[in-house]
């Protein structure tokens, strides 16, 4: 089996700050995803990547950048944190074309 | 964009009860429908999926799909306190670029199984 590691587990930022979340997987999966989970809302896709150096926008990409420099890692940057923003960011991976996603435990973001 | 609606939003059942969770989706061209389980502070974990009309059973889980009515349900037999979690319905759609699939998730249903 494999594992997806997200760092940090908790992230506290200031309004307007640029914040970076990291994700590592050892499944050797081709495709990686970033989802945002808000209380009372479904998971929403921010970015995904089908291979190293590939980036595809999801439904919620505005306000975010992503980077996939290695097959095993996928990072997400909040370009300007919004005051009182609070959400959990989930990283996931799958085989190429696969429908079964394997998730990390998430990074919980709070913006003061 | 695919819309996924789940009901109920939450339910509390006694240990040993049968649990039924519902999910409706908007696009008949969807691929598989998945159910994920999420415990507090953890990421979602895939439980079971279905593609064809009808039902599929795996252990205590049974899923029913009716594509004509755009409805899928998950049934948990003999529920246990460890089943207490949020259950997410996810509908898979083929990406336009042919690069794979995208999952659209419902808001989830919070299940509490009391001992």
Asked if the Cβ–Cβ distance from B99 to A42 is below 8 Å, we say no
pLDDT at B97: 62
pLDDT per position as a tens digit, B45-73: 999 999 999 999 999 999 999 999 999 99
User: Nearest-5° angle of CA B38, CA B42, CA B46?
Assistant: 45
pLDDT at A96: 76
pLDDT per position as a tens digit, B88-109: 999 998 776 666 678 999 999 9
B57-86 as b/e: b if 16+ CB within 10 A: eeeebbbbbebeebebbbbbeebeeebbbb
pLDDT per position as a tens digit, B13-36: 999 999 999 999 998 777 899 999
Beta pairing class for B10-14 and B109-114: parallel
Using a CB-CB cut-off of 8 Å, the residues of chain B touching A50 are 99-100
Mutate to test the interface with B, among A94, A101, A102, A105 (most CBs of B within 10 A): A101
Which residue of B42, B88, B101 is in closest CB contact with A99?
Answer: B101
| CA B22 – CA B52 distance, rounded (Å) | 17
Q: CB atoms < 10 A from the CB of B88, how many?
A: 27
| CA B55 – CA B77 distance, rounded (Å) | 14
Cis preceding-peptide flag for B113 (omega within 30 of 0): no
Asked if the Cβ–Cβ distance from B43 to A59 is below 8 Å, we say no
| Res. B111: pLDDT tops 90 | yes
Q: Which phi and psi angles does A17 have, rounded to 5°?
A: -75, 150
Q: Which residue has the higher pLDDT, B85 or A42?
A: B85
A79: nearest Cα among A103, A37, A48, A47: A47
- Mean pLDDT by runs of 10 across the 112 residues of chain A is 95 95 96 93 92 92 96 97 92 86 96 91
């Amino acid at each position: 089996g494999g594992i997806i590691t997200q760092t940090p587990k908790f992230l506290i930022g200031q309004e307007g700050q640029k914040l970076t979340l990291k994700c590592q997987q050892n499944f050797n999966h081709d495709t990686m995803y970033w989802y945002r989970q808000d209380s009372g809302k479904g998971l929403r896709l921010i970015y995904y990547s089908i291979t190293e150096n590939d980036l595809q926008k999801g439904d919620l990409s505005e306000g975010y950048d992503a980077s996939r420099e290695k097959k095993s890692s996928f990072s997400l940057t909040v370009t300007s944190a919004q005051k009182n923003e609070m959400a959990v960011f989930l990283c996931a991976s799958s085989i190429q074309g696969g429908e079964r996603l394997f998730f990390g435990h998430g990074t919980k973001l709070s913006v003061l | 964009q695919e819309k996924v609606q789940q009901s109920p939003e939450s339910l509390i059942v006694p240990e040993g009860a049968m649990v039924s969770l519902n999910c409706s989706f908007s696009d008949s061209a969807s691929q598989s429908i998945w159910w994920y389980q999420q415990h507090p502070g953890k990421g979602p974990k895939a439980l079971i999926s279905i593609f064809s009309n009808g039902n599929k059973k795996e252990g205590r889980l049974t899923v029913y799909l009716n594509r004509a009515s755009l409805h899928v349900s998950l049934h948990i037999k003999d529920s246990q306190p460890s089943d207490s979690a949020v259950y997410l319905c996810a509908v898979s759609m083929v990406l336009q670029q042919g690069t794979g699939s995208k999952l659209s998730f419902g808001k989830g249903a919070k299940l509490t199984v009391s001992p």
